[in-house]
Structure 1
Amino acid sequence: MQELLAYLQDPELVARFQRRCGLYLMEGSNRGSGRITGEKPREQQEGSWDHQDRNSNYEYKENPAGPVQDCRKPRYEVRNWLLHFLFLLSAGLGHEVFYITCLPCIHWNLDPFLCRRLVNMWALVMYIGQAMKDLLKLPRPPSPPVVKLEMRVDAEYGLPSTHAMAATAISFTLLLSAPSRLQFCFQTGLLIAATLSSMVSLSRLYTGMHSVLDVVCGILITAVLILLTYPWWESFDSFQLYSPLSPIVALSLLLLLSYTYPELDHYSTTRGDTTTILGACAGSSVGYWLNVQLGNTFDLQGSLPVPLPALTAQAVARGAARSLVGIVALVGTRQVVRTLTLDALYSWYKLPKTDKEARKRKEIEVPSKFVTYTAVGLVNTIVVNRVFVLLGLL
């Protein structure tokens, strides 16, 4: 077993997959589409090179007297552009831009019930996955031999792959929840769910951000979580929508989890990203509860399961209009609330607004992100559908 785990964690396994897909690391060569042309070898550049923590690439320390060098840019050659863009698109399905657009679009254009289920499972698996990363502290694959295409998260630890967890959770939660609400071919849904989760998982190998072990563990952990929680989904729905304690539990528990997130000896984006997810879940949970109290949940009407909406030109246009209006509302809410929250926190702690590094401090990062995305969740669940009614889009 130990040999198998070591084999699955071998970075050369990831590098071989990248090369099979047409992605090659260019060391000491001026060739390649990702090569910084005219760049000097590292030992000839001004400044000094130091290693960061063991799960990240080297970084260049700028010499104040010398030119600024962008040496963290990966040097690589792409030989299969179709696969390259396909995997980059798949990797994007695990980022904030996808979550703030796709999940709400399911609420606006399909069924709020399904969106609620997805947000709940997404928050659960992401919190467990992110916390496991920072407790286990297993490194990401080193470069070389792999090519790393996403340097923003390189300071995070590797196991498990939360991209793989989120993609698996969202795909299969939707598959398991939809039959009671919508009429569709289950086999087709299974094929789509398996394809989407597989593409996102493989994209983590292509981008060089995870080992095979990270991805496999992410999928298996999510499968176990779905199996363990599935019998309780209906009971949790009832508590979330009808219990007077629901909004109190949602806000207090998820805020507590944000503040008690595992501490690291260096800054990582995991705490902020996790707080973002928990905040969105808290806002959505309170919003769905309030909709029940207000007497309009915007759920599907009629005898369930209902047929899938017909893809007529008019339906597509209305869906696109709803998505556009909704995304503008959410992005606007995010920008306004984040600015106001940061201004209030900077003022409270008497910090200069020019101190961007202060945003990494726990007392700034956690409340600012939690409040911002709680507001986003509330606007998504309460306000946007009512705007659609006023605009005649429902």
Structure 2
Amino acid sequence: MEKRNPPSLGQLFRFLQDPHLVARFQHICGVRAIIPGGETSALGKRGSDSIDRNGSVRTTKPLRKNSLTGDAGQEFVVENRFLYYLFTFGTELGNELFYLSFFPFLVWNADPAVGRRLIMLWVWVMYLGQCTKDLLGWSRPASPPVVKVEVLYDSEYSMPSTHAMSATAIPFALFFLTFGRWQYSFWLGLAAAACWCLLVCLSRIYVGMHSLLDVMVGVAYSAVMLPLLLPALDAVDELVASSGYAAATVAAVHAALGLLSSKLDGWSTSRADTAQILGSGAGVALGTRAERLLGLLPADGPSAGGPPTAALRWLAGVPVLLATRALTKSLLAATLRRFRRPRAEIPCRYLVYGAVGFNVLFLAPLVFRLLRLS
């Protein structure tokens, strides 16, 4: 009997990067492309979720347009609405709206010190991930055979998946930073972090944005960075809080890194996203120092108050952040009109989200004090 040689590493990588693997997973989950003539690519009986009351096929389009080209994407058929909503939720756990909601809530209502350190880690992980994408320049899975359930970031590069990186870094770092500090079961916390990570990773394959290899490398990339970065978080956070020079250095380094990343490749929306991330981190650093200077920096440990207080802080804090973003954008709009170049958007986004990050730590807590919510 002829002995088969094991596949080489290159063959394994090509297999994991194969778009047909993504299409097969979508098919199992009930996502079908629409073939010209009105039929779907499904073999066999359609699921009941894809048929409306009149017996016709119910089609769906991507929720948001391509952030660079404005392309709305192609219609497709969803046969399993539960998985569609589950994975749509999962992919949102790596988008801007989630970050703007989750990090302020953590800082205001759970544990300010953990929130600051988690933001710091998130900035480093996302920056390295975005730069690696631009250096490698690998394209998204081909369509066909893949169905593009999402097209928002379709113009960006694919390797590694920064959604997978953040979905590994955030929940597992949160687990390591809070176990023993908050009261919960070790296995429950570990299982919650693993479920968060798995949901986001599968969602990126489901929406057709990443190959299995992209996701696996993203998880591994973060897994390598976590033990290197976690031990430094406490010391860096304390240095930023106690030294104005350190906070200013963080802001300057983030600005320089944003300009550097903009030169790695031609213009794409990932440059602006990177500027937002770096600006947020710089603003949080400056806000931390400002709080310490005024004696407002809360002590380490869980925030005081129960769910009603947390809800009131949220209702009072979110308008502060929205107003900050709107006001800063309006002040910088003249700059964008004057230069009329996409690259002018990088420093503008850095400043806008720097102001938002600053007020998460500075202005919003001041409002809470005025309203006697802290």
Give the drift of 1:185: 1.6
C-alpha displacement at 1:368, in angstroms?
Answer: 0.6
User: What letter matches 2:342 in structure 1?
Assistant: R
Question: Which residue pairs with 1:234 in the alignment?
Answer: 234
Shift of 1:121: 0.8
Aligned partner of residue 119 in structure 1, secondary structure: helix
Q: Distance in 1 between matches of 2:194 and 2:307?
A: 26
Q: Is the 8 A contact 1:34 1:74 kept in 2?
A: no
CA offsets 1:135-178 (integer angstroms, 9 cap, x no match): 10011101111111222211101000000111111101111111
Q: Which whole-Å CA distance do the structure 2 matches of 1:137 and 1:262 have between them? A: 14
Task: Decide whether the 8 Å contact of 1:247 with 1:285 is kept in 2.
Answer: yes
Match of 1:6 among 7, 11, 14: 14
Hey, what does 2:50 align to over in structure 1? none
Q: Structure 2 CA distance, aligned partners of 1:163 and 1:99?
A: 12
Contact 2:134 2:265 (C-alpha < 8 Å) held by counterparts: no
1:186 aligns with 186
Q: What letter matches 2:181 in structure 1?
A: R
Measured against aligned partners, the alpha-carbon deviations of 1:3-29 in whole angstroms (never above 9, x if no partner) come to 110011000101111111111112214
Q: 1:143 to 1:256 in 2, by over 3 A?
A: same
Q: CA–CA distance in 2 between the matches of 1:231 and 1:178?
A: 14
Change in CA separation of 1:35 and 1:78 when aligned onto 2, cut-off 3 Å:
closer
Hey, what does 2:141 align to over in structure 1? Answer: 141
| In 2, Cα distance between equivalents of 1:244 and 1:179 | 31
The 3-state SS of whatever aligns with 2:35 is coil
Output the amino acid matched with 1:25.
A
Contact 1:131/1:262, CA 8 A, preserved across alignment: no
Instruction: Provide structure 2 residue ranges, at least 5 long, that are not aligned to the other structure.
Output: 1-8, 40-56
Residue identity in the other structure for 1:209:
M
Q: Output the amino acid matched with 2:176.
A: L
Residue 42 of structure 2 corresponds to which residue in structure 1?
Answer: none
* 1:208-240, Cα deviation, whole Å (9 max, x unpaired): 000000000000000100011223223222322
Distance 1:71 1:282, change over 3 A: closer
1:283 is matched by which residue type in structure 2? G
**Structure 2 partner of 1:320:** 311
Q: Which one of the candidate residues 315, 329, 333 is aligned to 2:320?
A: 329
Q: What is the rounded CA distance, in whole Å, between the counterparts of 1:6 and 1:98 in structure 2?
A: 33
The SS at the match of 1:248 is helix
Indicate if the aligned counterparts of 1:134 and 1:262 stay in contact, CA closer than 8 A.
Answer: no
- Using the TM superposition, give the Cα deviation of residue 264 of structure 1 relative to its aligned residue in structure 2, in angstroms: 6.0
| Partner SS state of residue 267, structure 2 | coil
Asked whether the equivalents of residues 121 and 229 of structure 2 are also in contact (C-alpha less than 8 Å), the reply is no
- Offset of residue 299 of structure 1: 3.3
Provide the residue aligned with 1:342 in structure 2: 333
Name the structure 2 match of 1:66: none
Q: Does 1:367 align with 2:340?
A: no
Correspondences of 1:49-68 after superposition (within 5 Å): none
Aligned pairs (5 A) from 1:164-313: 164-263=164-263, 266-300=266-300
Structure 1 residue 252, shift from structure 2 partner: 0.6
TM-score scaled by structure 2? 0.87
SS in 1 for 2:126: helix
How many Å separate the matches in 2 of 1:155 and 1:368? 21
How big is the shift at 1:291? 1.3
Q: CA deviation at 1:384?
A: 0.7
AA paired with 1:382?
A: F
CA–CA separation in structure 2 for the residues paired with 1:238 and 1:143? 48
1:282 to partner: Cα distance: 0.2
Q: CA separation of 1:82/1:289 partners in 2, compared to 1, >3 Å: closer, same or farther?
A: same
1:110 counterpart = 2:110: yes
Matching residue's letter, 1:346: R
Answer yes or no: is 1:34 the counterpart of 2:67.
no
Give the superposed CA RMSD.
2.1
Q: Which moved more, 1:326-335 or 1:197-206?
A: 326-335
Q: Distance in 2 between matches of 1:202 and 1:71?
A: 24
Q: Name the CA distance, whole Å, in 1 between partners of 2:137 and 2:295.
A: 47
Once the two structures are TM-superposed, the CA of residue 300 in structure 1 deviates from its matched residue by 4.3
2: CA distance between counterparts of 1:233 and 1:380? Answer: 19
SS at match of 2:77: strand
Write the letter of the residue equivalent to 1:33.
R
Supply the distance in 2 between the matched residues of 1:243 and 1:204 (Cα, whole angstroms). 40
> Distance between the aligned counterparts of 2:283 and 2:72, measured in 1?
37
Report how far residue 192 of structure 1 moved. 0.7
1:156 partner SS: coil
Q: CA offset at residue 262 of structure 1?
A: 4.6
CA contact (8 A) 2:133 2:158 kept: yes
TM-score normalised over the length of structure 1: 0.82
Q: Which amino acid aligns with 1:319?
A: A
Structure 2 equivalent of residue 121 of structure 1: 121
SS of 2:179 mapped into structure 1: helix
Give the Cα–Cα distance (whole angstroms) in 2 for the partners of residues 344 and 297 of structure 1. Answer: 34
CA distance in 2, matches of 1:292, 1:182: 24
Q: Are the aligned partners of 2:121 and 2:233 in contact in 1 as well (CA < 8 Å)?
A: no
For residues 266 and 229 of structure 1, do their structure 2 counterparts lie closer, same or farther at Cα, with a shift above 3 Å needed? closer
Partners of 1:298 and 1:385 within 8 A in 2: no
Q: How far off its partner does 1:393 sit?
A: 2.1
Corresponding residue number in structure 2 for 1:43? none
Unmatched runs of 5 consecutive residues or more in structure 1: 37-55, 60-69, 350-357
**Aligned mates of 2:60, 2:295 — CA distance in 1:** 59
Give the superposition deviation at 1:72: 4.5
